[in-house]
A and B are shown apart, each in its own frame.
Chain A
Amino acid sequence: MSSTSVYPTPINAFKQSKRSVLSIIVDNEPGILARIVGLFSGRGYNIEALNVTVVDIKNNLSRITIETLGEEKVISQIIAQLEKLVPVHSATNLANLSESYEAEICLVKIEFDNNEQDQKILNFADIYRSRTVQKRQNIVVYEISGTSERINKFLDDLNTIGGIKVELVRSGPIGLGI
């Protein structure tokens, strides 16, 4: 089971568009990321999020995770095109696996100026079990992880607090099939 997206989908533009998370194992060599990104831009596919890191030093392998939008037919075409790239070992649509897990990490810096705001922030941070990375007089940095959906909800809730300033960075989803 994969989680569903809370990103607004442009219904008219992509009638059958679905959010998919692709997991790609590649030889870690110069130019590989450019090849993959170039494939997406050259063929007009979307990249909603992208993440890449070496996962096997001995065999020199990286795992790239890409979140994309498209109809089923487009997603299969993306997979087929990815698998044609020489350094690509495999490309998998996590949604096609019977079991897969997703997670994302987000660092969020919040600036506030009064106690009421601080209390509300604390409250949400507690509900979403985010970890405090740093806390100063009127600045707090949290780390929150989980599905992208969960992080979205946390950020939506924060936004209901008036007058605070939020800056954030997200890793994009990563996922693993079982």
Chain B
Amino acid sequence: MENENEFTGADILLKALKDQEVDTIFGYPGGAVLPIYDAIFGQNFLKHVLVRQEAGAVHAAEGYARSSGKVGVLLVTSGPGVTNVVTGLTDALMDSIPIVCISGQVPSHLIGTDAFQECDTTGITRPCTKHNYLVKDVNKLSETIHEAFKIASSGRPGPVLIDIPKDVQFAKSKYIPKKDISFKEHRIKAGSKNVDKSFVQELVNHIKKSERPIFYVGGGCLNSGPQASQELIKLVNKTNIPITTTLHGLGCFPGEDKSSLGMLGMHGNYEANLAMNKCDLMINVGARFDDRVTGRLDAFSPDSVKFHIDIDQSSINKNVKVNFHTNTDITLTLKEINSFIESNNIELEKKDYTNWWGQINDWRKKECLHYEQGDEIIKPQHAISRLYDLTSHKDTFITTEVGQHQMWAAQYYKFSKPNRWITSGGLGTMGFGMPAAVGAQMANPDSLVIDIAGEASFLMNIQEIATAVQYKLPIKIFILNNEYMGMVRQWQELLHGSRYSESYVDALPDFKKLAESFNAVGVRAKNISELDDAINEMVSIDRPVIADIWVDKKENCFPMIPSGAAHHEMLLSKYDKENPENQEKGKVLV
């Protein structure tokens, strides 16, 4: 007899997604997920976005998550469906993005028989997820899905995968709602909710004593939520301490504010890197001392007392030894610092670090982001500057691909709010930006979403233009077209004697015609006189647009701290030459 309290595995999945307030799922069908697609058919709370390749689904889910603060969700079939998302899962793990990936698996009785489209999904994805599951019993399905969402979004966020064999999608069980599930604390690892008061006191004491303090802020601040940014702004304003952010920290603090030194690291600002090198107090808020940031470790900020706030215990003392640390959530900790300063009437304004700011302003006079825009060929830096000037009044989200254009975007586009800047940092995944823009536009239908792209990266997931067209997502792809894998070309020029081995992108398509063939719109700027018009046209069209911006092919991205060099050994222009000893050592690094 049919029991009306029992549902199929596929229906349980949908109920759980509804319970988790998921309204969008990115996916691609196949044999092992047909029961789930059957359940998706004929329901209306969940919008399914059909991508063109599963890699598109996972990056779209990342873009969705980053731009909305919610968990991104995707659905793929067994075998090739799931192997196609391995890059994206790794990307989300490196950059701490909460996503849940549902994959179909061959029926339980066929597992281990090399069945058609069988692969060891949990085995393949174990090292590239925060956690993963193979659900063999339909009675465990509800609980597993709810735990997956909890794990993806708690503590340091990350990707979680649930592999569901086809027979489990058909099998029946009761549905257990989220509210009836009691999570096991040791599995969720949400981090401590208790602020470490002694850390806070110690920090405030050091701020009072210090002569040359700096905030070094990373993506953890973003993941702690918008409130973290608010508390950070309050604290910076109160203390007048300079602040630099990592690639992922951009937007946590307004980029145009006078206290902001911009981004630090390999292509960071001169003043930011020198301030890190010379500071006597470093306050790390949710950053992980990544090699792109620290440069040569033995010369990294040698004279500073280091404080580190990070919810991930394994980030503490991993690359750089710190003096004080706390694992409590950033928002809670910053809040406590602010209220400690207020309630103890500590007047930090009096201490305005005049000498320190004088020194920093001297460094600023170098104008490390200066470039010469002639009156013919478009400089890529200028293209981004104009894009910023012509779009910053709008509610804009920027995604990027990977390469020089990404670094120029980070340098010349300024962000005033968190979650507006979506880029692949840890893994550096070419082909990330366009599907991420699809995801960001799904989450923010009324905003302007622009993928700042390189022509080589764009070709890696170009099929997703069709997704944007199908769902009428008016994303803009702003290509800085230099006909080179520019970042590779730059390293070859600087480190490999200008031997440009395989870095020229030959046989490029005509991007304008390509746009048209997809039923999108193409615009082009070949020289400086056409740039503003192309940008304005791109922005004004309410459809997906590919803007093909022809830029200087040989331009390099500066400042640059070559691998193996220290912060103060930065190259500012092509006229700076690298210390040959560092060059040999750096060549073997990444």
**A84 in the interface (beta carbon within 8 A):** yes
Q: Which of B126, B127, B314, B321 makes the CB contact (< 8 A) with A84?
A: B314
User: Within the assembled complex, what's the spacing in Å between the Cα atoms of A38 and B314?
Assistant: 17
Closest CB in chain B relative to A88 CB, distance in Å: 8
Distance of A31 Cα from B312 Cα, bound (Å): 23
Report B497 CB to chain A, min CB distance, Å: 32
Give chain A residues whose Cβ lies under 8 Å from the Cβ of B187: 27, 86-87
Q: How far is the CB of A64 from chain B (nearest CB, A)?
A: 15
Name the residue in B123, B131, B151 with the highest tally of chain A Cβ atoms < 10 Å from its Cβ: B131
Partner of A73, one of B126, B189, B313, B317: B317
The residues in B between 266 and 323 inclusive whose CB is less than 8 angstroms from any CB of A are 312-314, 316-318, 321
- Segment 11-44 of A: residues with Cβ below 8 Å from B: 27, 30-31, 34-35, 38, 42
B314 touches A77 (CB 8 A): yes
> Is there contact, CB below 8 Å, between A38 and B127?
yes
Contacts of A80 in B (CB 8 A): 313-314, 316, 318
Q: Does B341 contact A (CB under 8 A)?
A: no
Distance (whole angstroms) from the CB of A41 to the closest CB of chain B? 9
User: Given the complex, which residues of B lie within 8 Å of A81, measured CB to CB?
Assistant: 314
In Å, the complex CA distance between A87 and B132 comes to: 11
Chain A interface size, under 10 / 10 to 19 / 20 to 34 / 35 or more: 10 to 19
Cα A166 to Cα B318 with chains together (Å)? 44
Q: A149 to B41: give the CA distance in the assembly, Å.
A: 65
B351 to A: closest C-beta gap in Å: 35
A83 at interface, CB cutoff 8 A: yes
* Chain A CB within 8 A of B122 CB: yes
Q: Which residues of B contact A88 (CB under 8 A)?
A: 186
Are B126 and A77 within 8 A (Cβ)?
no
- Tell me if A76 and B317 are in contact (CB < 8 A): yes
Which chain A residue shows the least CB distance to B186?
A89
Residues of A within 8 A of B134 (CB): 30-31
CA distance A27 to B314 in the complex (A): 21
Chain B residue contacts of A34, Cβ below 8 A: 123, 126
Bound state CA distance, A89 and B321, in angstroms?
A: 26
* A77 in contact with B318 (CB, 8 Å): yes
User: Considering the chains assembled together, what is the distance between the CA atoms of A84 and B312 in angstroms?
Assistant: 8
Query: Scoring B residues 311 to 339 as 1 if CB is less than 8 Å from chain A, else 0, what string do you get?
Result: 01110111001000000000000000000
Enumerate chain A residues within 8 angstroms of B132, measured Cβ to Cβ. 31
**Interface digits, B436-449 against A, CB 8 Å rule (1 contact, 0 not)?**
00000000000000
Decide: B122 and A31 in contact? CB cutoff 8 A: yes
Across the interface, do A83 and B151 meet the contact criterion of CB distance under 8 Å? Answer: no
Nearest-CB distance from A24 to chain B (Å)?
12
Give the residues in chain A near B314, CB-CB below 8 Å: 77, 80-81, 83-84
How far does the Cβ of B145 sit from chain A's closest Cβ, in whole Å? 15
Across the interface, which residues of A come within 8 angstroms of B122, CB to CB? 31
Interfacial chain B residues near A76, Cβ < 8 Å = 317
Question: With a CB–CB cut-off of 8 A, which chain A residues contact B316?
Answer: 80
Please state if A86 and B127 are interface contacts (CB–CB under 8 Å).
no
Contact of B131 with A86 in the complex, beta carbons under 8 Å: yes
Bound-state Cα–Cα, A86 to B127, Å: 13
When C-beta atoms are compared, the residue in chain B nearest to A86 turns out to be: B131
Interchain CB contact under 8 A, B313 and A83:
yes
Taking CB atoms, residues of chain A closer than 8 Å to B318 are 77, 80
| Other-chain contact of A35, B126, B312, B321 (Cβ < 8 Å) | B126
A38 touches which one: B126, B130, B151, B189 (CB < 8 A)? Answer: B126
User: Which A residues are CB-close (under 8 A) to B317?
Assistant: 73, 76-77
Chain A contacts of B130 at CB under 8 A?
86
Closest-by-CB residue of B relative to A83 is B313
Query: Considering residues A38, A81, A84, A88, which has the most beta carbons from chain B within 10 angstroms of its beta carbon?
Result: A84
Of all chain B residues, which has the CB nearest A41? Answer: B127
- Interface residues in A57-95 by Cβ distance below 8 A to B read 73, 76-77, 80-81, 83-89
Q: Closest residue to A39 on the B side, CB-wise?
A: B127
The residue in B151, B318, B321 that gathers the most chain A C-beta atoms within 10 A of its C-beta is: B318
Residue of A nearest to B131 (CB): A86
Residues in A neighbouring B131, C-beta threshold 8 A: 85-86
Q: How far is the CA of A35 from the CA of B127 in the complex (A)?
A: 8
B residues 132-171 touching A (CB-CB < 8 Å): 132, 134, 151
Query: If A35-B126, A42-B127, A73-B317 touch, does A84 touch B189 (CB 8 Å cutoff)?
Result: yes
What's the minimum C-beta distance from A96 to chain B, rounded to whole angstroms? 15
Q: What is the distance, in angstroms, from B140's C-beta to the closest C-beta of chain A? A: 11
Q: Closest approach, in angstroms, between the C-beta of A95 and any C-beta of chain B?
A: 18
CB contact list, B176-234 vs A, under 8 A = 186-187, 189
CB distance from A57 to the nearest CB of B (A): 18
Nearest-neighbour CB distance to chain B for A25, whole angstroms, equals 9
Give chain A residues whose Cβ lies under 8 Å from the Cβ of B312. 84
CA distance A85 to B155 in the complex (A): 12
Q: How far is the CB of A101 from chain B (nearest CB, A)?
A: 25
Listed by A's residue number, 23 A-B pairs whose Cβ atoms lie within 8 Å are A27-B187, A30-B134, A31-B126, A34-B126, A35-B126, A38-B126, A38-B127, A42-B127, A73-B317, A73-B321, A77-B318, A80-B313, A80-B314, A80-B318, A81-B314, A83-B313, A83-B314, A84-B189, A86-B130, A86-B187, A86-B189, A87-B187, A88-B186
- Give residues in A with beta carbon < 8 Å to B: 27, 30-31, 34-35, 38, 42, 73, 76-77, 80-81, 83-89
Name the 10 nearest CB pairs between A and B, nearest first. A80-B314, A86-B131, A80-B313, A89-B186, A86-B187, A81-B314, A42-B127, A38-B127, A38-B126, A77-B318
Could you list 12 further interchain pairs (A-B, Cβ under 8 angstroms) beyond the known A27-B187, A80-B314, A84-B189? Answer: A31-B132, A31-B134, A34-B123, A77-B314, A77-B317, A77-B318, A83-B189, A83-B313, A83-B314, A85-B131, A86-B131, A89-B186
